[in-house]
Amino acid sequence: MAQTELPPAALSKDQRTKLALLCFAVWLHAASSMLAATTLPSAVREFGGGHLIGWAFALYLLGSIIAGSSTSLLTRRLGLRAAVSLAALLYGIGSMICAIAPNMIIVLAGRLVQGVGGGYLVAIAFVALRHWFAPNLVPKVMALISAVWSLSAFAGPLVGGSFATFANWRMAFVAAAVQAALFFAFALKVAPRSTDRATDERPSIPLLRLGLISGAVLSLAFAGAEVQPLRSTLLCILGIGMFLLMLLQDRKRPNTRLFPSRPFATSTPVGAGLTLVLSASFASVSFIVYGPILLETLHGLSPLAAGYIVAFESVCWGLAAVIVASFKSVDDAWLIRTGTVILSISLIGFALLMASGPVWAILACAGVQGAGFGIMWAFVYRRITDHADPTEADTAASAIPTIQQIGFACGAAASGLVANALGFGEDVGLATAHSAAFWVFFAFVPFTVIAAIAGWRLAKAQCLIPRSDTESRGSH
């Protein structure tokens, strides 16, 4: 198998500043969820609306998916520099709406706007990555971005909890707005002016398709928010149907396409890669959704301890990515195949160990799952973008985080259906927890098999690295 030579670790000053900008963008998006998780309970204690707290996360996810889906169109209209500045502005406005909100409804509105800004930030970062760095630098750059994501997952609860405990929950959102303002200024200084030249073409806004995506995400959110087997199943079917209809409409509009053509055709490298992203995200999210409550119920852990066990997955994702990127050469096809197999092993491990423990073994499964993603993610990204049609390369790049979040939304709703079918909804007790602890993980093992098949097909594609000149993209 061909070995991919990775470049020396040193980056030029220009590349380091651009990398710092991308990491900052990812930090804002990743830290938002962690901050909200620890600050919004204080908001509920101030003005009620506890039944709406789940929607604060669902609407952020909705905004992120809408933004990610339309990122390639936004960058075509405005250019990267203006687009990323607009994203920071939206994120900051959404944060301030939350900070000054007089009730929970306004908080939800702020979270939606914040989600649009955060979704644009991370999707534009994926697009900028292919413009600003040569392909052979991608593993190292992605490793550092993954490390930042891991840091936010670990530090977010601590920072947000500190604001809620020692200051005021509103100040956490003010701090987020201040960071957005700093990012805005940094982007204007660092992002190359040449990327600000948008194309002469001004693609129209695909309102129908964005509406279908919104309807699909909201259907899934309703399905998972208050699970009732029949209603939730119908809502899941409706959501999937709306998404499929959106894809059919998208194929007919090549000039304003939200996703690459044939995005899930596993006969193509792009389709295989995006199928891997969707199925792996769908299968793995059950640990994020049900891991904490199962650890608390079955093993008596505190919410903070359970949260950090879940966060350990992200830490190992970033650590594995950094370790792989430190090698002089790697067999990326082998890493993609191995990563997908590891995901299956970790999910089976959760199914077998969650009920009985020991806790350290569950922690190990979390680390293994994160490492599985970490060793392959940069190479999945690179193969998808390298093999995309040149006219769809930006669309393919922004589709990766968007489809990942769609997978999370679908997986969260599906895991809720499984858990509630076993009675772990109305009765959160030891008996139902024992039953749910196996099936909320094992039921998703078939989707890791789909991810593995897609990964093997993606790995068959020739690794394309057009050039190793690290400056060839740095000035664009």
Q: What are the helix (H) ranges across 48-136?
A: 53-69, 71-78, 80-99, 104-132
Are 279 and 416 members of one domain? yes
Are 387 and 404 members of one domain? yes
Are 226 and 293 members of one domain? no
Are 283 and 429 members of one domain? yes
- Within-domain flag for 113: yes
Query: What is the pLDDT confidence band of residue 3, given thresholds at 50, 70 and 90?
Result: low
Boundaries of domain holding 377: 264-466
- What pLDDT, on a 0 to 100 scale, did the predictor assign at position 144? 86
Segment 318-343 shows an average pLDDT of 86
Are 196 and 217 members of one domain? no
Task: Please state, rounded to an integer, the average pLDDT across all residues of the chain.
Answer: 83
pLDDT digits (tens, 9 = 90+) for 76-125: 888 888 999 999 999 999 999 999 999 889 998 999 999 999 999 999 99
Residue at which a domain ends, from 182, 201, 220: 201
- Within-domain flag for 187: yes
- Within-domain flag for 289: yes
Query: What is the pLDDT confidence band of residue 472, given thresholds at 50, 70 and 90?
Result: very low
Are 174 and 244 members of one domain? no
Sign of CA dihedral 273, 329, 342, 414: negative
Are 69 and 181 members of one domain? yes
- Within-domain flag for 135: yes
- Within-domain flag for 222: yes
- Whole-prediction pTM: 0.82
Residue at which a domain ends, from 183, 201, 219: 201
Number of domains, the chain: 3
- Within-domain flag for 4: no
- Within-domain flag for 1: no
Sign of CA dihedral 95, 99, 101, 103: positive
Segment 60-65 shows an average pLDDT of 88
Are 231 and 290 members of one domain? no
- Within-domain flag for 8: no
pLDDT digits (tens, 9 = 90+) for 6-47: 554 557 788 888 899 999 999 998 888 767 766 777 787 787
Are 219 and 274 members of one domain? no
More confident residue, 198 or 306: 306
Looking up residue 397, the CATH number of its domain turns out to be: 1.20.1250.20
- What pLDDT, on a 0 to 100 scale, did the predictor assign at position 368? 95
pLDDT digits (tens, 9 = 90+) for 257-294: 888 888 888 889 999 999 999 999 999 988 887 888 88
- What pLDDT, on a 0 to 100 scale, did the predictor assign at position 428? 66
CA angle centred on 75, ends 407 and 259, rounded to 5°: 35
Are 410 and 368 members of one domain? yes
In this structure, are residues 463 and 335 in contact, taking their beta carbons and an 8 Å threshold? no
More confident residue, 82 or 163: 82
Lowest mean pLDDT among 246-250, 328-332, 356-360, 466-470: 466-470
Are 212 and 272 members of one domain? no
Residue at which a domain ends, from 186, 201, 216: 201
Are 269 and 395 members of one domain? yes
Burial class (CB in 10 A: 0-12, 13-18, 19+), 435: middle
Segment 125-143 shows an average pLDDT of 84
